[in-house]
């Protein structure tokens, strides 16, 4: 069994318009390897290609060039998808389903039998603190509650690889801390985790290794400890300073 869970080799992704003219090179020659059991962080400013990279890893987007393997297979293979869990940036739940139905639906898609699905649903709702409201439609949930349901849904199939796109987005500080603790617990249990974030404090807390992306290219990669005393300083040095946004000048008029 290979220890390289995700392998990207010189992966490129160029979006094209209706006439197939290239418009944006979202990812440009990216190579990375995520090994079994590590928590890998993809960091970068908005538009740096984090989400595009994740969607290529999930098989939702085709790379324009390069090679991409997930568990040694194509990301579109059913066998690779069976070992995968994904928490998107927003929850994207079916509003008319209850929290329990949502989890049972995804359990069914993961191939769990009804009894196991029911048990896992109860466990996960308990874990994310929504056991009391499991019978309510998720359309009426707050953003934070919906996010917890989505997190539970991503874990329903007991995945070997968990992909988290901005996992703490929309959560209050208490929930954020809970999610970070959960990620650490899952990682300690041997789960491989790939996460994106632009909250550097979060990444510093949970990631073993990080890669910093800017304009679709890797500008730095390494263990959090190796990158310097402060990840924030390192990040700003690599991708630009805050005043690059020229906000102050704009406000001055």
Q: Which residues of the shown chain bind another protein in the complex (CB under 8 A)?
A: 15, 55, 58-62, 76, 78-79, 81-82, 84, 86, 88, 90, 92-94, 96-97, 101, 105-106, 108-111, 113, 153, 157
- Give exposure, 135-162, as e/b (b: 16+ Cβ within 10 Å): eebbeebeeebbbbbbbbbbbbbebbbb
Torsion sign across C-alpha atoms 198, 178, 87, 75: positive
Helix (H) or strand (E) holding 235: helix 231-239
Between residues 81 and 209, which has the closer beta carbon with respect to another protein? 81
CB of 108 to another protein, least distance (A): 3
Instruction: Provide the 8-state DSSP code for 245.
Output: G
Q: Calculate Rg over the CA atoms of the chain.
A: 19
Instruction: Closer to another protein by CB, 111 or 240: give it.
Output: 111
Q: How far is the CB of 144 from another protein (least distance, A)?
A: 19
Q: Shortest distance, CB of residue 219 to another protein, whole angstroms?
A: 25
> Of 108 and 240, which CB lies nearer to another protein in the complex structure?
108
Nearest residue (CB) to another protein, 110 versus 179: 110
Name which of 192 and 234 has its Cβ closer to another protein.
192
| Least gap, CB of 237 to another protein (angstroms) | 33
At 210, is the secondary structure helix, strand, or coil? Answer: strand
Contacts of 141 by beta carbon, 8 Å cutoff, 6+ apart: 99, 133, 149
With CA atoms as reference, report the closest residue to 184 among 171, 203, 199, 165.
Answer: 203
Question: From the CB of 105, what's the least distance to another protein, in Å?
Answer: 6
Measured in Å, how far apart are the chain's first and last C-alpha atoms? 60
């Amino acid at each position: 069994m290979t220890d390289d869970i995700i392998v990207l080799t010189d992966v490129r992704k160029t979006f094209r318009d209706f006439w197939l003219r290239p418009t944006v090179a979202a990812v440009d020659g990216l190579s990375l390897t995520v090994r079994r059991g590590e928590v890998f962080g993809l960091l970068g400013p908005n538009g740096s290609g984090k989400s595009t990279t994740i969607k290529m890893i999930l098989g939702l987007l085709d790379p324009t060039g390069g090679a991409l393997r997930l568990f040694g297979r194509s990301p579109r293979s059913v066998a690779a998808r069976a070992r995968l869990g994904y928490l998107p940036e927003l929850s994207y739940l079916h509003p008319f389903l209850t929290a329990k139905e949502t989890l049972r639906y995804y359990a069914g898609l993961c191939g769990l039998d009804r009894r196991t699905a029911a048990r896992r649903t109860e466990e996960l709702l308990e874990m994310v603190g929504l056991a009391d409201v499991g019978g309510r439609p998720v359309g009426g949930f707050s953003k934070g509650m919906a996010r917890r349901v989505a997190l539970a849904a991503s874990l329903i199939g007991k995945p070997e690889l968990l992909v988290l796109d901005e996992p703490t987005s929309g959560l209050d500080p208490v929930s954020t801390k809970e999610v970070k603790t959960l990620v650490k617990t899952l990682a300690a249990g041997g789960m491989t985790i790939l996460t994106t974030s632009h909250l550097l404090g979060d990444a510093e807390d949970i990631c073993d290794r990080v890669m910093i992306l800017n304009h679709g290219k890797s500008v730095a990669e390494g263990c959090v400890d190796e990158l310097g005393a402060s990840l924030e300083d390192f990040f700003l040095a690599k991708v630009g300073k805050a005043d690059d946004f020229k906000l102050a000048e704009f406000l001055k008029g």
